[in-house]
Amino acid sequence: MTTPRTGDAGRPADRVGTVIVGAGFAGIAAAMALRAEGVSDFVILERASGVGGTWRENVYPGVACDVPAHLYGLSAHPWPGWSRTFAPGAEIRSYLEHVVHAEGLDSRLRLGTALTDARWVDDGWVVSTVSSPSAAEAGDRVLHADHLILACGRLTEPVIPDVPGLDGFPGPVFHSARWDERIRIQGARIAVVGTGASAVQLVPQLARQGADVTLFQRTPAWIVPRRDRAYARAERDAWAADPASLAALRDELYAEGEARFASRSGDPAASESAREAALGHLARQVPDPGLRSALTPDYAFGCKRVLLSDDFYPTIADGSVRLEASALAAVDDNWLIAASGARHQADVIVLATGFEAARQPYARLVTGEHGLTLDEHWSTGMTSVASTLVHGFPNLHVLNGPNASLGHNSAVLIMEQQAAFSAALVAGGRTVRVTAEAEAEYTAEIAARAAGTPWIEGGCRNWYTDPRSGRLTLLWPGTVADFGEQLARARDAILAPSLIP
């Protein structure tokens, strides 16, 4: 057993108490939580040249959050200056940069530094990294750490569909999360593949900028009104002058989010009410019955991520975008062939096809005390204790990983709770191990909570479940308050004096 170090004095350059991987919301929250527990011996590794996570990577036209901005910030850093109800992506990235500076975390960041390998050796983590030539400490480097916090995010590696002929397309082909800012949108024939959260933001913007857009829809989404608006200067000034009113707004938004859990999880009355609201939204915005039918989901409300938009339907209804109500099946030169047999020409293909969410890419790089990688341990889907700890991986903390996503409220709330949980364990001064039995018990509890919900039995294919096992592995099947309670129970059990090894 090793004791986590909380000071930097006299420490060799390759020793550190805690390594945090990732400088998005989760990594920044983890650093703040460690500080709150009196732990100052940590570094944050970030493979990119700046902080922001998904809000650094996603720069496509129209990118914005679908959680109200005043609920999407970190609780210790309320921000009265959000410009809109739903903040644009660049604004969120700027906010995270502000938090890093305000917290004095700049010196803890190792930007341009990618994790290449991490393995438990004897009584600690050996963490191998490689840094870009522009990084402060370029080249390969090995760190020896007591604790490893993975805050890598779940939406980092794009899914590229296996479409015959796609490699031979003569024009640009890229994922929406790897937006090519060199392309000329006006007058271009752009095919967008997918109708998920990114596509419903991107497609109207492309049409507004003069693109000739064809949208390939494999599966329609449930879409509800967004009701976005710009905040007036007077509102922002009032929140800045009265922090209590800003806190009250956050509390109100939190309560609204918790109330949505019923409709997303399959409560009959709440689900039917939400479904009717979504169908009413569609009927008001798409008068043509044939087009409306093509845009109507045939699966349960909440089975897939529910989307928010006020301009997606009108953009299709007024003919600004050509809807191909089937999947992209093949590509022949610059002809795109749909599953329906229809053929469309394009100059550019944008893949809004989601991410490798169920099988986390970082898991292949982490090896536990029994010689298995995290990916091998999760061969039938992610498992954990308290959505954070993993059997066979001592002192490993996974944030925003197994069963730590939300379909009804702000995921930042979950990340902050996990960060506080992990920081308490780090500060507890002992090696943290969880048993196989505890992991199996937690996995069974998740399965019992998920049974009968739309996520499992709603008749759709979603990214909440792992296709290898059919288990719910991404989504937390409860409220934010429920999550906090189970973390508190796990923390108290692990730190109980009777359990000291």
Instruction: Give 43-94 pLDDT, tens digit per residue.
Output: 999 999 999 999 999 999 999 999 999 999 999 999 999 999 999 999 999 9
Check residue 430 and report its DSSP letter: S
Spell out the SS3 assignment of 175-225.
EHHHCCCCCCCCCCEEEEECCCHHHHHHHHHHHHCCCEEEEECCCCCCEEC
pLDDT at 301 over 60: yes
pLDDT at 39 over 70: yes
pLDDT at 470 over 60: yes
pLDDT for the residue 5: 35
Residues 311-356: tens digit of each pLDDT: 999 999 999 999 999 999 999 999 999 999 999 999 999 999 999 8
| DSSP codes of every residue in 231-273 | PPHHHHHHHHH-HHHHHHHHHHHHHHHHHTHHHHHT-HHHHHH
What CA–CA distance (Å, rounded) separates 205 from 315?
9
pLDDT for the residue 286: 98
Q: Which residues lie across from 349 on neighbouring strands? A: 173, 191
For 353, other C-beta atoms within 10 Å of its C-beta total 22
What CA–CA distance (Å, rounded) separates 408 from 405?
9
pLDDT for the residue 154: 83
pLDDT for the residue 132: 84
pLDDT for the residue 4: 34
pLDDT for the residue 1: 30
pLDDT at 13 over 60: no
Q: Report the mean per-residue pLDDT for the chain.
A: 94
Instruction: Give the model's confidence band at 139: pLDDT under 50 very low, under 70 low, under 90 confident, else very high.
Output: confident
pLDDT for the residue 6: 35
Do you know the residue count of the chain?
501
Mean pLDDT, range 217-232, rounded to an integer: 98
pLDDT for the residue 121: 97
pLDDT at 260 over 60: yes
Mean pLDDT, range 291-313, rounded to an integer: 98
pLDDT for the residue 501: 37
Mean pLDDT, range 104-120, rounded to an integer: 97
Q: Which domains does the chain have, with CATH numbers?
A: 15-157+356-499 (3.50.50.60), 166-222+267-351 (3.50.50.60)
pLDDT at 500 over 60: no
Residue in the block written with tokens 């109708």: 195
pLDDT for the residue 136: 66
Residues 371-412: tens digit of each pLDDT: 999 999 999 999 999 999 999 999 999 999 999 999 999 999
C-alpha separations of 355 from 411, 412, 463 in Å: 17, 19, 9
Q: Please give the model's pTM, rounded to 2 decimal places.
A: 0.94
Which segment of 4-13, 323-332, 434-443 scores lowest on mean pLDDT?
4-13
Instruction: Give the model's confidence band at 497: pLDDT under 50 very low, under 70 low, under 90 confident, else very high.
Output: low
pLDDT for the residue 204: 98
3-state secondary structure of 295: coil
455, 475 contact by CB (below 8 A):
yes
pLDDT for the residue 357: 86
> Which residues 6+ apart lie within 8 Å of 100 measured at CB?
23, 28, 51, 106, 109
Determine phi and psi for 417, rounding to 5 degrees.
-65, -45
What CA–CA distance (Å, rounded) separates 287 from 278?
14
What CA–CA distance (Å, rounded) separates 384 from 465?
15
pLDDT for the residue 156: 83
What CA–CA distance (Å, rounded) separates 343 from 358?
32
Q: Six-digit token pair at 482?
A: 């429920």
Check residue 464 and report its DSSP letter: S
Share of the chain above pLDDT 70, in %: 96
Determine phi and psi for 96, rounding to 5 degrees.
-65, -35
Instruction: Give the model's confidence band at 358: pLDDT under 50 very low, under 70 low, under 90 confident, else very high.
Output: confident
What CA–CA distance (Å, rounded) separates 141 from 126?
10
Mean pLDDT, range 250-273, rounded to an integer: 98
Q: What angle do CA 207, 301, 163 make, to 5 degrees?
A: 50
Share of the chain above pLDDT 90, in %: 92
